[in-house]
Chains A and B, each alone.
Chain A
Amino acid sequence: MRAVGLSDSRTVGLLGAVVVALLSVSQTVRLSSQDTTRGKTVYVKWCAGCHGEDGKGDGPAAAYMLPRPRDFTGAVYQIRTTANGQLPTDADLMRSIDDGLFGTAMPGWKGRLSDAERRDVLAYLKTFSAFFADTTQRPVALAFGREPGSDARVGRQFYDSIGCRKCHGDQGRGDGPSAPTLKDDAGFPIFAADLAQSWRFNGGGDVAAIYRRLRTGLDGTPMPSFSDLIDQKFLTADELWHLAQYVRSLSPTRPPELRDVIHAPAARGALPAAPDDSAWNRVEPSWFPLVGQVIHKSRWFTPAIAGVWVQALHDGRALALRITWDDRSQSPDSAWRPFTQRVLASVAGDDSTPPAAALWPDQLIVQFPTKVPEGMERPYFLMGAATQPVYQWRWTSALRTSGRAVAGLARGIERFDSLPAGSAPAAQAVYDHGQWRLVLTRALATPDTADDLQFRTGRAIPVAFFGQDGSNGEFGTRMAVSTWYFLALDQPTPPRVFVTPVVAIAVTLGLGLVLVRRAQQRGTRA
Chain B
Amino acid sequence: MRALGMMAVAVAGVVGLAAAGRSSQAGGTVAGKVRFTGAKPLMAKIDMSDESVCKAKYTAPPTEETVVVNANGTLANVFVYVKAGLPADYAAPAPAEDVVLDQNGCRYHPHVLGIRVGQKLAIKNSDGLLHNIKAMGKQNRPFNVSQPTSMTTERVFTAPEVMVPLECNVHGWMHAYLGVLPHSFFAVTGTDGSFSLKGLPPGTYTIEAWHEKYGTQVATVTVTAGGAKTQDFTFTAR
Contacts and interface: CB of A to CB of B under 8 A. Distances in A.
A486 B169 CA distance: 43
A178 B48 CA distance: 12
A177 B50 contact: yes
A222 to B, nearest CB: 3
A167 interface: yes
Contacts of A167: 169-170
Contacts of B158: 136
Contacts, number: 97
A225 B169 contact: no
Q: Chain A at the B interface: mostly helix, strand, loop or mixed?
A: loop
Interface in B157-171: 158, 169-171
Interface of A: 7-8, 10-12, 14-15, 74, 76, 84-87, 131, 136-137, 161-163, 166-167, 177-178, 181-183, 185, 217, 219-229, 232, 234
Contacts of A162: 130, 146, 148
B215 interface: no
Contact of A222 (B2, B138, B144): B144
A43 to B, nearest CB: 22
B8 A74 contact: no
Given A10-B5, A14-B8, A178-B170, A163 B148 contact: yes
Contact of B134 (A10, A87, A161, A222): A222
Given A74-B138, A234-B151, A166 B146 contact: no
A217 B138 CA distance: 18
B132 A11 contact: no
Contact of B172 (A15, A181, A221, A227): A181
26 contacts: A7-B6, A10-B8, A11-B1, A11-B2, A11-B4, A87-B141, A131-B141, A163-B146, A163-B148, A163-B170, A166-B170, A177-B50, A178-B170, A178-B172, A182-B169, A217-B144, A220-B142, A222-B144, A224-B134, A224-B144, A224-B146, A225-B143, A227-B145, A228-B153, A229-B148, A234-B149
Contacts of A217: 144-145
Contacts of B135: 85
A387 to B, nearest CB: 50
Given A84-B143, A167-B170, 14 more contacts: A8-B2, A11-B1, A14-B5, A85-B143, A163-B130, A163-B148, A166-B130, A178-B172, A183-B169, A217-B144, A224-B145, A224-B146, A232-B153, A234-B148
Contacts of B153: 228, 232
A162 B170 CA distance: 12
A85 B5 contact: no
B171 A178 contact: yes
B67 interface: no
A76 B141 CA distance: 8
| Residue with the highest number of chain A CB atoms closer than 10 Å, among B1, B144, B149, B170 | B144
